[in-house]
């Protein structure tokens, strides 16, 4: 049994809990805890690779801001999600900004020791590839929905993804700490359109809207809205 203080916390996530036990131990042995104050950047687009991270507490916003100040929000990563693995494979600079939401606690596996470990134990590369391929699959699905799905279905689909921790947690959470403006940014929809869709879902008894949060009252009816 692993005595690392965050082991049981990480076991709630699908990816980590399905790793070989010896790999779980090795990752924790080379990790260190990092705390990021609210609004502070963990890294910025263009920064050199710095390793792999897991969210332990709080959340991290991943996106970018144009020179004109327009924000593109890809995701808000919550516990026990892992991220940052792309740079392990290509060694290229970071593709987006990662900024703490509230005070967040992260587990950090630095790039150099992690790469040295994988070079010595190359059979474990496949597990990192599975972490990346799962996100690539979600990206393709989201691109398809962006082109083909009406806005209400896109809202429903993203709410389900967030509730399920993008495939990391089970059962799905019912209460999402998610401001409506943030959801609109993720979906490239106007705030007005997103708010109206959410209000309609509340009238139908599928959601309850609170301050900075969305409660899913009927997850099956929400799921039915995403059917083609």
Series of mean pLDDT values for 10-residue runs along the chain (228 residues): 80 96 96 94 96 95 84 90 95 95 94 97 97 93 87 95 89 91 92 97 97 95 90
Q: Tokens 């005070």 identify what position? A: 103
Residues of each domain in the chain carrying CATH 2.60.120.10:
7-140
Residues of each domain in the chain carrying CATH 1.10.10.10:
150-224
- Our measurement of the distance from residue 108's CA atom to the centroid of its chain's CA atoms, rounded to an integer in Å, reads 16
For residues 150 and 88, give the distance between their C-alpha atoms in angstroms, rounded to a whole number. 36
For 49, counting Cβ atoms within 10 Å of its Cβ (0-12 exposed, 13-18 middle, 19+ buried), the class is buried
The pair of structure tokens assigned to 8 is 């049981």
In this prediction, residue 3 carries a pLDDT of 66
- Our measurement of the distance from residue 158's CA atom to the centroid of its chain's CA atoms, rounded to an integer in Å, reads 12
In this prediction, residue 202 carries a pLDDT of 97
Q: Tokens 């990092």 identify what position? A: 34
Question: How many angstroms separate the Cα of 45 from the Cα of each of 66, 135, 225?
Answer: 11, 19, 35
Q: Cβ distance 10 to 21 under 8 Å?
A: no
The pair of structure tokens assigned to 37 is 């104050």
CATH level 2 (architecture), domain 7-140: Sandwich (2.60)
In this prediction, residue 115 carries a pLDDT of 97
155 half-sphere exposure, CB direction, 13 A CA radius: 27
CATH level 2 (architecture), domain 150-224: Orthogonal Bundle (1.10)
Closest residue by Cα to residue 143 from 127, 163, 157, 162 = 157
Q: Tokens 């403006």 identify what position? A: 181
In this prediction, residue 53 carries a pLDDT of 98
For 186, counting Cβ atoms within 10 Å of its Cβ (0-12 exposed, 13-18 middle, 19+ buried), the class is buried
In this prediction, residue 2 carries a pLDDT of 58
Q: Tokens 């916390």 identify what position? A: 9
């Amino acid at each position: 049994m692993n005595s690392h203080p965050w082991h049981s916390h990480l076991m709630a996530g699908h990816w980590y809990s399905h790793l070989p036990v010896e790999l779980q131990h090795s990752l924790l042995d080379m990790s260190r805890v990092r705390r990021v104050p609210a609004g502070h950047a963990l890294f910025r687009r263009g920064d050199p690779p710095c390793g792999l991270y897991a969210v332990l507490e709080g959340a991290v916003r991943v996106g970018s801001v144009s020179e004109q100040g327009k924000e593109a929000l890809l995701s808000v990563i919550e516990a026990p999600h892992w991220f940052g693995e792309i740079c392990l494979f290509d060694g290229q600079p970071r593709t987006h900004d990662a900024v703490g939401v509230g005070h967040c606690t992260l587990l950090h596996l630095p790039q150099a020791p992690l790469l040295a470990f994988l070079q010595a134990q190359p059979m474990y590369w496949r597990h990192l590839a599975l972490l990346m391929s799962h996100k690539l699959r979600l990206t393709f699905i989201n691109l398809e929905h962006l082109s083909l799905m009406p806005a209400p279905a896109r809202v429903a689909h993203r709410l389900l993804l967030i509730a399920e921790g993008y495939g990391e947690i089970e059962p799905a959470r019912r209460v999402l700490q998610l401001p409506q403006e943030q959801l609109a940014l993720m979906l490239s929809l106007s705030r007005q359109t997103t708010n109206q869709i959410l209000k309609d879902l509340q009238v139908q008894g599928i959601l309850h809207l609170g301050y900075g949060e969305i409660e899913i009252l009927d997850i099956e009816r929400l799921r039915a809205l995403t059917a083609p």
